[in-house]
Structures are given as structure tokens and as C-alpha cells.
């Protein structure tokens, strides 16, 4: 607030506390990011989940490249991990899990994903892998390497699609 040269009292005229301010800022960021990934969320073309996921990730990277100030805010939040971070992450994580589960179930119905795959476990796996790539890149504390992030996500998706075994296993 000092850097913005706004008196503390003026801020709290509009927000209950710092957490309320953060949530407001992240609502703005989420709305802007939705402009980048929104077309993919409903998946009108029926794109396979992993292809759709890759496209959403690329769109998310474009969002980050176009909005470096939002990335800076997220980096700050990551560095201060606390109650606000936990609430923001858990809220968004639940929404992402539910969305991915729905898309995974649609692919199961189309025979693209095995029926015995637990949709929630798969959704969480994809999210965890993505978060690890993003958090690791943010934690480096330097300029984010978007090409490296895309390369790593592409490699992870490739491993998920093809598996890690060379062929049929003899039991």
C-alpha cells in the first residue's frame, strides 16, 4: 500500500482485510485468464482430455506471458504461503478437479481412457504434475522459462499417454 501511495484506511474502506483484497485481485486475474482458456472449458469439439489439457496449458502460458504483473502477484503469494494461499489454492483446486473429472469421464465414455482408471485420481495426478512444473519454475526466483515449462508438460503428457513400459509385461 505504501508503494501505491494509498492510505491504509482507504483500502479497508473497500475490503474487510488483506485476505479480502487478495481474493478480489485473484478474481480479476481469474476472469482475465478465463479469456484465454474459456473456449476450452466446455470442449465443444470433443477434443480428447490430454490434448485439451495441453491446449489449456499453452493458453495459460500465453496468459502469463501477456500478463507479467499477474505472474508477479502469484509469485509473491507463493513466497508468502499462508492462510490466503491455502484458501485460494484449495478453492481453485476443487474446481479444477471437478472439471477434469467431467472431461475424463467423457473420454471414458468414448473409449479414449480405460474404464478402470479412477477419474479423480487421474485428475489430481494431472493437476499435481502441472503444479509441480509451475511451482518449481516460480520457486527458481528468476524470469520464468515458458519454453521449458511447455517442454516439461509435453513430456509428462507423453508419458501419461504412452506409459512407461516398453510393451506387454510378462507376469
Residue 101's pLDDT band, with cuts at 50, 70 and 90, is very high
| Domains, in order of start, for the chain | 28-162 (1.10.357)
pLDDT by residue (tens digit) across 154-170? 898 999 988 888 766 55
For residue 81, the SS3 value is coil
pTM higher than 0.85:
no
Query: Is there a contact between 97 and 124 (Cβ–Cβ < 8 Å)?
Result: yes
**Rounded Cα distance, 101 and 105, in Å:** 6
Amino acid at each position: 500500500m505504501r508503494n501505491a501511495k494509498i492510505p491504509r484506511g482507504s483500502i479497508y474502506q473497500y475490503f474487510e482485510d488483506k485476505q479480502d483484497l487478495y481474493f478480489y485481485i485473484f478474481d480479476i486475474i481469474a476472469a482475465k485468464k478465463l479469456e484465454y482458456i474459456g473456449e476450452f472449458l466446455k470442449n465443444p469439439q470433443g477434443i480428447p482430455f490430454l490434448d485439451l489439457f495441453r491446449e489449456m496449458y499453452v493458453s495459460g502460458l500465453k496468459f502469463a506471458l501477456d500478463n507479467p504483473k499477474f505472474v508477479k502477484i502469484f509469485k509473491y503469494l507463493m513466497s508468502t504461503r499462508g492462510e490466503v494461499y491455502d484458501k485460494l489454492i484449495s478453492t481453485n483446486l476443487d474446481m479444477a478437479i471437478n472439471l477434469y473429472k467431467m472431461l475424463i469421464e467423457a473420454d471414458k465414455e468414448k473409449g479414449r481412457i480405460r474404464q478402470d482408471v479412477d477419474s479423480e485420481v487421474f485428475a489430481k495426478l494431472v493437476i499435481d504434475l502441472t503444479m509441480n512444473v509451475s511451482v518449481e519454475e516460480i520457486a527458481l526466483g528468476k524470469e520464468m522459462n515458458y519454453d521449458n515449462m511447455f517442454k516439461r508438460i509435453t513430456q509428462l503428457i507423453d508419458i501419461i499417454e504412452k506409459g512407461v513400459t516398453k510393451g506387454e509385461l510378462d507376469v
